[in-house]
Amino acid sequence: MPSLNRYISDEDFAHLLEDAKKIQETNPEIKRMIYEHMDYTRRKYNFTQKEFSQILGCSNTTYSHIMQDNRRMNADNLLTFCRVFNLDITTVVEESYLRKADAVLRELAVYLAELSDDTLDSIQTAIEASNETSPQIRRGVRLFERLRESETQKAKPPIRLFRRDFTTEEE
């Protein structure tokens, strides 16, 4: 007998249950990738596990257990992570779903962005002098130009949702 409080048919509800079961089967994989994304962020900012756990609002032991998949992360920790680092949950999940090679490429991009202009000039010169095809060389040069542009662009105006939105620039 259908529930009187439900706004969908029994058939639609059965489909929702099937979909939920499929999603639940993939949750461990997605969860592991989110944890890897969090650890990548922690390393990107050169935080210790203790410092990062303080940011998330949990103990170092709890954070360690979460990273070892011996304990579940609560929604508060995930929301804090997203808001402090100006990420939305969709982005975290989507980026976390990327292949491991993509994570290495993101880390390489962060590394390149931290290099001095002289080092970047040397790498760009090596690309220009390489035996690669002309289109590959042009693409490499364009990528380095975009990298340098991204370093100089100003942040978009805050929307008063994330940590950065609560700092006053008037100080």
User: 88 and 123 share a domain?
Assistant: no
Query: Residue 63 maps to which CATH number?
Result: 1.10.260.40
What pLDDT, in 10s, does the model give residues 90-113? 777 766 665 555 667 777 877 887
Q: Is residue 30 part of a domain?
A: yes
User: What domain count does the chain have?
Assistant: 2
The structure's pTM equals 0.52
Asked whether 113 and 147 are in contact (CB, 8 A), the reply is yes
Residue span of the structural domain in which 20 resides: 8-98
The answer to whether residue 64 scores a pLDDT higher than 80 is yes
What percentage of the chain exceeds 90 in pLDDT?
21
